[in-house]
Structure 1
């Protein structure tokens, strides 16, 4: 998770994406529903790991979500957009841990720790990363 005692900025993340807020994302209190934050985190992950200009995956493989732990810091209000930051914090044999954060107007609204597993669609089991994949994932880490 992001350490909220430190100033966290979108620029601290290798992967940067955004989502447009929809009226249907709001709840009776007039702010974006907490469940929508999982979709924000998905947008950040997908834009980084499924980038068609710099693919990480080979045909027949995908990622499955193993863990999503969200800390809510501040409300998000409609209308507008949110920015999503994503970076790799750990690479395992077949899993990768990511730190993610959601911002609105430069303000940190949520942080998350996300774990995804490299998945072989034919065997329906986890599959070890190749050396090339490990190198690419290592490049998505931020030096502290």
Structure 2
């Protein structure tokens, strides 16, 4: 998917001891939080507050492929890529690694849909966001 996408955000997130599960590695649900944090930082950097009023982004699907277990301590590096947008949605892809490591520990995908919060209906992606996405 990378050749059809644009890197739009990189963020660093410390692994917390409490992120681990009984097997001694980062719990699978935490990876979705890492991807969420990158997504929120990207949108907020562009001036979009993730708030439940007006029009706002929602996620309609999300997936993660776990390649190598992450362990405490460490700092996760999340790279977020966006694909070609549609009228109201944009596909996103994520690569999760440890800071300074070339190893990809997990990959993920999600689809962001812009919607009118009051009606629950999709609306066009704002032009300021569209300008940051692949043409």
TM-score tier, shorter chain, comes to 0.7 to 0.9
Q: Is the 8 A contact 1:85 1:100 kept in 2?
A: yes
1:43 and 1:74 map into 2 onto residues whose CA distance is 20
Residue number among 120, 130, 134 corresponding to 1:134 in the alignment? 130
CA deviations over 1:78-119 (Å, ceiling 9, x no partner): 012101000111201101101111111422100011101101
Give the superposition deviation at 1:136: 2.3
Matched with 1:85 is: 79
Unaligned runs of 5+ in 2: none
Give the superposition deviation at 1:57: 6.5
Q: Is the 8 A contact 1:86 1:101 kept in 2?
A: yes
Q: What are the residue-to-residue correspondences of 1:1-144 with 2, within 5 Å? A: 13-51=7-45, 54-56=46-48, 60-105=54-99, 106=101, 107-138=103-134
Q: Does the C-alpha gap of structure 1 residues 134 and 13 become closer, same or farther in structure 2, counting only changes over 3 Å?
A: closer
Unaligned runs of 5+ in 1: 4-11, 140-144
* Runs of 4 or more consecutive aligned structure 1 residues displaced over 4 Å after TM superposition: 56-59
Instruction: Report the count of equivalent residues.
Output: 129
